[in-house]
Amino acid sequence: MSDLALVLNSGSSSIKFQLVDPERHATDEPFASGLVEQIGEPEGRVTLKYAGETHTTTAPIPDHNVGLDMAFELMNEHGCGPAEVEITAVGHRVVHGGILFSSPEIITDEILGMIRDLIPLAPLHNPANINGIEVARRILPDVPHVAVFDTGFYHSMPPAAALYAINKDVAAEHGIRRYGFHGTSHEYVSRHVPEMLGRPAEEVNQITLHLGNGASATAVRGGRAIDTSMGMTPLAGLVMGTRSGDIDPGIVFHLHRSAGMSIDEIDRLLNRDSGVKGISGVNDFRALGELIEEHNEDAFLAYNVYIHQLRRYIGSYMIALGRVDAITFTAGVGENAANVRADAMANLENFGIRIDPERNAERSSLAREISTDDSPVKVFVIPTNEELAIARYAVELANRSR
Ligand code: ADP
């Protein structure tokens, strides 16, 4: 077998893992995949999918160390663990790379220290990522570990797009600027577009729309991100499942001063109880669609607010790019919700965007065009695969370092 990478996405109470052959086709199932969940709760669970079967262990999982040990035991038991298969590299998803990291890095103690220094910028995410890195390095000490940063793709964004118009000394002291997130997904999808257009990457201007639970839009010129909707944190930009996206910052002061909410309460409100869920009560687009069919007004309103904000960003990126060759939808909502794509692209014929309703309605797990043959701007659906992208980086860097 060719190289296999172990890809880890370590959250505060869960670890997602995949064993991925980086040479495989984007739509193939990973070699093995699984989830360690409810870490730190009375009952935890490890699930493994391998060779068409699903295996589960339940037991208390006090911390990430125990969780990853259990995952490896389960993998070994079923013939796909490090005891049986050779792992060329471990790829770690790291949410925040600040202005320090523009591309993936082999993890050394020094690099880990730098990721630790970025904790103030991502107090929820980076500690969990670091935890996963430390545990995996303990279990697989002889394999190269590679950090792939969600922010890396945005490192070279022009200052006009990256800077906020706030006091520059305060901004410099506290690292306040637009970092952008979901970069691995936007980069993966945007790299596929020139192939679909049959044009050199340097010539292509495009907008990529990652619409999942979290959602973001990115403008890409010649392979380089020139603007993106998420900001210093992943709370900004588009309306999301539970996150507000852009709001007037004055609302935060008002909620604190007039409504008496604490900063933590406001944080929870904007991150977990807002967005589509905040207006309709549900965050999943399938549930939202069912409510709309039942003529639920709040669901209809939530959907319209979501679409309005999405179109706002598409419009502003069309201006930022000047000429747009392609617009691409990806992630759970972008890949599956034909109505979202149709409504986001409706009545834009004057801007050269023509959707073919039949192509748009077709369900497929393949990359595909949904615009008409004569549409000057091509519209695509390209399934994202962040794990595959991370696996490719990890194996590439590991092989280069040998
Ligand atoms: P994450 O941001 O957690 O990676 P995903 O990219 O997996 O999320 O997207 C998850 C979301 O995709 C779900 O919340 C759901 O709203 C949406 N989704 C998934 N399948 C469908 C579908 N068939 N139709 C509409 N929406 C879907």
The two counts, helices (H) then strands (E), for the chain are 15, 14
pLDDT at 1: 57
**Residue 286 CA to ligand 1 centre (angstroms):** 8
In the chain, the amino acid numbered 100 is L
pLDDT value at residue 256 = 98
Q: Is residue 191 part of a domain?
A: no
Catalytic residue (one of 150, 169, 227, 356): 150
Could you tell me which residues come within 8 angstroms of residue 225 by beta carbon, excluding any fewer than 6 positions away?
A: 153, 154, 156, 157, 180, 183, 186, 187, 218, 219
- Is 285 labelled a binding residue? yes
User: Is 356 one of the catalytic residues?
Assistant: no
For ligand 1, say whether the CB of 286 is within 6 Å of any of its atoms: yes
Within 13 Å and on the Cβ side, how many CA atoms surround 6?
Answer: 29
> Measured from the CB, is residue 209 less than 6 Å from ligand 1?
no
Instruction: Enter the tokens of residue 347.
Output: 């009545």
Give me the pLDDT at residue 331, please.
Answer: 97
- C-alpha distance from residue 84 to each of 23, 279, 305, 331 (Å): 20, 50, 51, 33
Spatial separation of the C-alpha atoms in residues 308 and 64, rounded to whole Å? 41
User: Nearest C-alpha to atom 13 of ligand 1 is from which residue?
Assistant: 284
218 and 139 co-located in one domain: no
Closest CA to 328 of 213, 222, 216: 216
Are residues 118 and 207 both part of a single domain? Answer: no
Phi/psi at 304 (nearest 5 deg)?
A: -65, -40
3-state secondary structure 320-370: HHCCCCEEEEEHHHHHHCHHHHHHHCCCCHHHCECECHHHHHCCCCCCEEC
For residue 290, being part of any structural domain is answered with yes
Name the residue among 1, 43, 35 with its Cα closest to residue 18.
35
Q: Ligand 1: which residue has its CA nearest to atom 4?
A: 212
* Same structural domain, 13 and 124: yes
> Which numbered atom of ligand 1 lies nearest the CA of 213?
2
Residue having the nearest C-alpha atom to atom 22 of ligand 1: 336
- Among 88, 115, 149, residue at a domain's last position: 149
Which of 141, 109, 106, 142 has its CA nearest to residue 401? 106
Tell me if 185 is assigned to some domain.
no
248, 366: one domain = yes
Domain boundary among 117, 134, 149: 149
* Pair 100, 208 in one domain: no
Pocket probe mutation, ligand 1, options 185, 211, 213, 240, max atoms within 8 Å of Cβ: 213
Same structural domain for residues 119 and 252? no
> Does the residue 135 lie in any domain?
yes
pLDDT at 287: 97
Q: Is there an atom of ligand 1 within 6 Å of 213 CB?
A: yes
- Is 128 found in the same domain as 38? yes
9, 184, 243, 284: which to mutate for ligand 1, most atoms within 8 A of CB? 284
Measured by CA distance, the residue closest to atom 12 of ligand 1 is: 332
CB 313 within 8 A of CB 320: no
Out of 89, 121, 149, a domain closes at 149
DSSP state of 315: H
From the list 251, 234, 231, the residue with the least C-alpha distance to 242 is 234
145 and 203 assigned to the same domain: no
Q: Are residues 97 and 34 in the same domain?
A: yes
For the chain, the domain total comes to 2
In a domain, 391, yes or no: no
Is residue 155 included in any domain, yes or no? no
Beta-carbon contacts of 308 under 8 Å, excluding residues fewer than 6 positions away, are none
User: Which CATH number fits the domain that encloses residue 23?
Assistant: 3.30.420.40
Answer yes or no: do 233 and 381 share one domain: yes
Please state the atom number of ligand 1 nearest to the C-alpha of residue 331: 6
Mutate to test the pocket of ligand 1, among 16, 286, 385, 386 (most ligand atoms within 8 A of CB): 286
Q: Do residue 207 and residue 140 come from a single domain?
A: no
| 2 CA → ligand 1 middle, Å | 31
Amino acid at 324: V
pLDDT in tens, the chain (402 residues): 578 999 999 988 899 999 999 998 888 889 999 999 999 998 999 999 999 999 999 999 999 999 999 999 999 999 998 888 999 999 999 999 999 999 999 999 999 999 999 999 888 889 999 999 999 999 999 999 999 999 999 999 999 999 999 999 999 999 999 999 999 999 999 999 999 999 999 999 999 999 999 999 999 999 999 999 999 999 999 999 999 999 999 999 999 999 999 999 999 999 999 999 999 999 999 999 999 999 999 999 999 999 999 999 999 999 999 999 999 999 999 999 999 999 999 999 999 999 999 999 999 999 999 999 999 999 999 999 999 999 999 999 999 887
Whether the Cβ atoms of residue 23 and residue 1 lie closer than 8 Å to each other? no
Does some domain include residue 164? no
pLDDT for 3 equals: 85
- 131 and 234 in a single domain? The answer is no
β pairing state of 145-149 and 89-94:
parallel
118: containing domain: 5-149
Residue 401 lies in a domain: no
